[in-house]
Amino acid sequence: MNRVQLEQCIHEYGKDIFTFCSRITGNRQEAEDLYQDTFLKAVELEEKIDFEQNPRSYLVSVALRIWKNRRRKFAWRQRIAGICTLTEETVKEECIGQENSAEAEVFRREQEMQVRKAVGNLAEKYRIPVYLYYTLQLSVEEIANVMEIPQGTVKSRLHKARALLKKELEVVLDEM
């Protein structure tokens, strides 16, 4: 992959990669740092990226590995000398542009927020495949490659995540 192809990759997949970074980190500042580090690593590894294959999956896997390494380093530092606790913001409340919006729009946004919160509350091993499958629309095979786990494991985690979400959202959405 040359510089032109890398720039094309950034242009085509940058938004998807940033969305994924935002979902797994939980806040904008960390997402921006992770996004930037992902493409810096892509520049470093540009000869390993095959533009003919699926560069988006490769970039998502780079972002995921960088994020996992950061969390691992933070956890190690906390064990040695705890400075502050790592908090993942599960949901950032979206601003409603118009205060006089229709009731249906408010209800839809509330439901969307509840779903995001429920997904954010899932354990990491379930949350990451859900984000990859539903947000980036990666196939089970691509998710397996990104996470370096068997396809059957991806399928079972997605199934378990759906069951957990259904159980939690039935209770939450029935209250609304």
Q: In the predicted model, is pLDDT for residue 56 greater than 80?
A: yes
CB 113 within 8 A of CB 127: no
Q: At what angle do helices 55-80 and 28-44 cross, to 10 degrees?
A: 120
Q: In the predicted model, is pLDDT for residue 100 greater than 50?
A: no
pTM of the model: 0.58
In this prediction, residue 156 carries a pLDDT of 95
Domains parsed from the chain with CATH numbers: 1-89 (1.10.1740), 91-176 (1.10.10.10)
Predicted confidence band at 18 (pLDDT cuts at 50, 70, 90)?
Answer: very high
Name the token pair of 172: 């939450």
Euclidean distance between CA atoms 144 and 167, whole angstroms: 26
pLDDT digits (tens, 9 = 90+) for 132-152: 888 888 889 989 988 899 999
